[in-house]
Amino acid sequence: MSINTNDFYSILASKAEASAIREILKLIQNPEVVSLAGGLPDPATFPAEEIREIVNHILSNNSVQALQYSTTEGLPGLRKSILDYLSTDGIKGNLENIVITSGSQQGLDLTGKLFLSPGDVAIVELPSYLAALSAFSSYGGELVGIPMDEEGMRMDLLEEKLIHLKGEGKKVKFIYTISNFQNPAGVTMSLSRRKNILEIAQRFNLFIVEDNPYEKLRFEGDHIPSIYSLDDDGRVISLGTFSKILCPGLRLAWMLGNEEVISKITLLKQATDLCTNILSQMIAFEYFQLGKFDKNIKSNVDIYKEKRNTMLKSLKQHFPPEATWTNPQGGFFITVTLPDYFDTGEMLTEAVKENVAYVPGSPFFADGKGKNTMRLSFCYPSLEEIEEGVKRIGKVIKRKIKKS
Amino acid sequence: MSINTNDFYSILASKAEASAIREILKLIQNPEVVSLAGGLPDPATFPAEEIREIVNHILSNNSVQALQYSTTEGLPGLRKSILDYLSTDGIKGNLENIVITSGSQQGLDLTGKLFLSPGDVAIVELPSYLAALSAFSSYGGELVGIPMDEEGMRMDLLEEKLIHLKGEGKKVKFIYTISNFQNPAGVTMSLSRRKNILEIAQRFNLFIVEDNPYEKLRFEGDHIPSIYSLDDDGRVISLGTFSKILCPGLRLAWMLGNEEVISKITLLKQATDLCTNILSQMIAFEYFQLGKFDKNIKSNVDIYKEKRNTMLKSLKQHFPPEATWTNPQGGFFITVTLPDYFDTGEMLTEAVKENVAYVPGSPFFADGKGKNTMRLSFCYPSLEEIEEGVKRIGKVIKRKIKKS
């Protein structure tokens, strides 16, 4: 007799459900559909030929290391190279402050596992990165959202909420922020806010988890010091990744933090996947050795900047005046806000009929709001597709605008 | 003021502690020390040149796919190839029954996450694979061990224990078994026991998690059908890996199970690492396409069989008559049992002074026993090192034998 699998799930696993929207977007196999939904990097940014040469070299000269098990904390040479590379941004640290992870998603998962018992609170931005919310929820963490404006998370509302949560006896563990060119909002936290959030974290004694995948993809304006670089208490954990500056297929990222955090994360990682793909680590290490990163990042910035410009121009041209949108100085994403009576989740079916896709905003909001917002990605589609896609969405929106 | 990191750990993370023995073994940097401790495959079994050619081909012809994000469930072609390959062993299933994981360790971790709420019971063998025990414990699972004999887990004791646990109101979720050439015991579950465990799992309505990394590394005797292949209820989950038949560096493995299990595991994996390294997946797929697996496995079997023979011969020659050991028909490991008054954990320091290392047995025992056992690995060391290592351990043991 067939087993009834549902009866066996853990409490947390039984709560995990596939996102309805992700399922809809999965079904879009029609090549006619222009997708502004996904967050995939443009393959034109992958240095494929250089990677081929590097792998050839590694497997000709050092195949035993490249194909064997490796240490959980990651290749020392790579960890050193990352620290050296980040030192120009004011990041200090030694090998005990960094662990290599199998993509930043693993870093988020391990962060959840490290900090969150069921009922513990993680503060997140409204909106925030969907897969981070999933990772934290998967350990029973309670997500409390704080609205953002053009300078990032609202510090006045953060403080208010923390006082309220304290009064309720809630155990808040950390504040999660994507400080640069946020996913999905596209906004960047200002320097004064970064100092402010650190001061608040000190006062309420909290960790800050700074997710920073897009920092190097800045199109204009000055680099803003990371919250991690401003911290002297060891209360910030920083997540960085090769997915957006080299390629995502390598599944390679890093976590920075105080020695206790990194040591415990390493222990948890050991039970999770033993070690990160060592060939990937050696590829990234060699890429550093060859001094290729700066040039590659510069060319990536040029590619994405042009795409961002095209999307902003198209939005201005094809979206009705009732719509507003963010103006990202880097990264991959723009968030559009429509009048309150819009439901972008419902509207997606209509959009797909017009051969265009986007991600409805609501799933990014830990408080379930944001139904009138959508995320548009300019990273993957061509310039023509960006313009055509925005035009098609604009058409659908205009049909639904209520004339007052 | 520095943050007090310890105050922030989740309940489960605060219980995770580095194994003292692992830490001792880590410190053995002395090249004079012959290690029979680690479980690393012999690099002579890695088809490095073939992999180099395959990667070259992939990155010349299909780099966009190889360097981009990929789907969580894994490359369909690879999943199909694995199913085809396993069909000769009576494994039935389609693409909905298989998910690619980032090493079998990820499969074990996700199994824990899928089934175990704190206090739920997982039945394990005494002894069992250390990192599986860690993975299950990391979700608060309670591990209940069942002794083994030369035919594997003792079914009479399993049944007795299940009745007892039922009486206590405990929620048992699954039985974890390494059915072939067990790590660390080196024993293989007999066919009659496999049928028996399935019957017991049906009667008590439990899942069986069959970890099967060494199945293809059989040195002699007939292939025994896997528990997975004997099951019609969808109550068995099977874990397989490329680590022992290709190389571990690729971090590539698979899970087989009923559709609900695989679909939920895929959902949990998405929040854990989004997707498995796609270049690794394409390498394994091409390796299947070129029809290389059978030849490579056959040559691996020859290598490991000779090493096993050398270890058995050396044990007979250098260990005192008071010691007994298992006689594995495949795999990587032998477990040695010494008289009751031995503590192999304490003895390790002495052994290291004699320039030899092994893994003390106690950590493999969920019930904390096994102090008088040790695991010896014949997979990594050379034939000379195996003989010399066994000789040195034999010397230490003989010194500690009490004459009656």
pLDDT band at A38 (very low <50, low <70, confident <90, very high): confident
Residues B228 and B373 both lie in one domain: no
Residues of B in contact with A174 (CB under 8 A): 8
Domain extent at residue B333: 15-46+295-400
**Domain boundary residue, one of B254, B289, B324:** B289
Residue A403 confidence (pLDDT): 80
pLDDT at B303: 97
Contacts of B267 in chain A (CB under 8 A): 16-18
B131 and B100 in a common domain? yes
CB distance A227 to A194 below 8 Å: yes
Q: For residues B277 and B282, what is the distance between their CA atoms, to the nearest angstrom? A: 9
In this structure, the answer to whether residues B249 and B121 fall within a common structural domain is yes
On whether both A114 and A220 belong to a single domain, the answer is yes
Within-domain flag for A206: yes
Average pLDDT, chain B: 95
Number of domains in chain B: 2
Q: Do B180 and B72 sit in the same domain of this protein?
A: yes
Give the residue-averaged pLDDT of A72-84.
97
User: Which of A250, A268, A289 is at the close of a domain?
Assistant: A289
The 8-class DSSP code of residue B225 comes to -
- In tens, the pLDDT along B359-394 reads 999 999 999 999 999 999 999 999 999 999 999 999
For residue range A280-323, what is the model confidence (pLDDT) as tens digits? 999 999 999 999 899 999 999 999 999 999 999 999 999 999 99
Strand arrangement, sheet containing A333-337 = A324-325, A333-337, A373-377, A359-360
Strand pairing category for A333-337 and A324-325: antiparallel
* CATH number of the structural domain spanning residue B303: 3.90.1150.10
Residue finishing a domain among A242, A259, A289: A289
Phi, psi of B35 (to 5 degrees): -100, 120
Q: How confident is the model at residue B27 (pLDDT cuts 50, 70, 90)?
A: low
With beta carbons less than 8 A apart as the criterion, state whether B244 and B218 touch: no
CA gap B61, B52 in Å, rounded:
14
A185 and A240 within one domain: yes
In a domain, A2, yes or no: no
Q: How far, in whole angstroms, is CA A276 from its chain's centroid?
A: 20
| Residue A49: pLDDT over 70 | yes
B78 and B208, same structural domain? yes
| Lowest mean pLDDT, pick from A27-41, B187-201, B258-272, B342-356 | A27-41
Does A16 contact B279 at a Cβ distance shorter than 8 Å? no
| Residue in chain A lying closest to B102 (CA) | A273
Judge whether B2 lies within some domain: no
B122-170: per-residue pLDDT in tens? 999 999 999 999 999 999 999 999 999 999 999 999 999 999 999 999 9
pLDDT at A17: 84
CATH of the domain at A214: 3.40.640.10
Quote ipTM for the complex.
0.96
Average pLDDT of span B317-328:
98
Mean pLDDT check: name the lowest of A52-56, B26-30, B264-268, B354-358.
B26-30
Radius of gyration of chain B (CA): 21
Q: Are residues B244 and B352 in the same domain?
A: no
Q: Is the pLDDT of residue B191 over 70?
A: yes
Scanning B88-207, the segments in alpha helix (DSSP H) are: 103-115, 130-137, 155-167, 191-203
Q: Look at residue A391 in the predicted model and tell me its pLDDT.
A: 98
Q: Do A248 and B109 touch (CB under 8 A)?
A: no
Verify whether the Cβ–Cβ distance B17 to A267 is below 8 Å: yes
| Residue A68 φ then ψ, to 5° | -95, 170
Mean of all residue pLDDT scores within chain A: 95
- Check pLDDT > 80 for residue B26: no
The reply to whether A173 falls in a domain is: yes
Residue A21 predicted with pLDDT over 70: no
| d(C-alpha B118, C-alpha B124), whole Å | 16
- Asked if residues B400 and B347 have their Cβ atoms less than 8 Å apart, the reply is yes
Please compute the mean of the pLDDT values over residues B89-116 and round it to a whole number: 97
Kindly state the DSSP code that residue A218 receives in the 8-state scheme: B
A328 and A266 both lie in a single domain: no
Q: Tell me which residue in B3, B235, B248 faces A69 most closely, judged by beta carbons.
A: B248
Give yes or no: residues A202 and A321 share one domain: no
Q: Are A180 and A215 in contact (CB under 8 A)?
A: yes
In a shared domain, residues B277 and B182:
yes
For A280, which of B13, B16, B277 is closest by C-beta distance? B277
Of A5, A63, A250, the CB nearest to B277: A250
Using the predicted structure, report yes or no on whether residue B21 has a pLDDT greater than 70: no
Residue in B closest to A38 by C-alpha: B69
Q: Identify the three-state secondary structure at position B280.
A: helix
In this prediction, what percent of chain B has a pLDDT beyond 70?
Answer: 97
Range B53-65 average pLDDT: 97
Residues B224 and B344 in one domain: no
Which of A198, A235, A264 is the best substitution to test chain B (most B C-beta atoms within 10 A)? A264
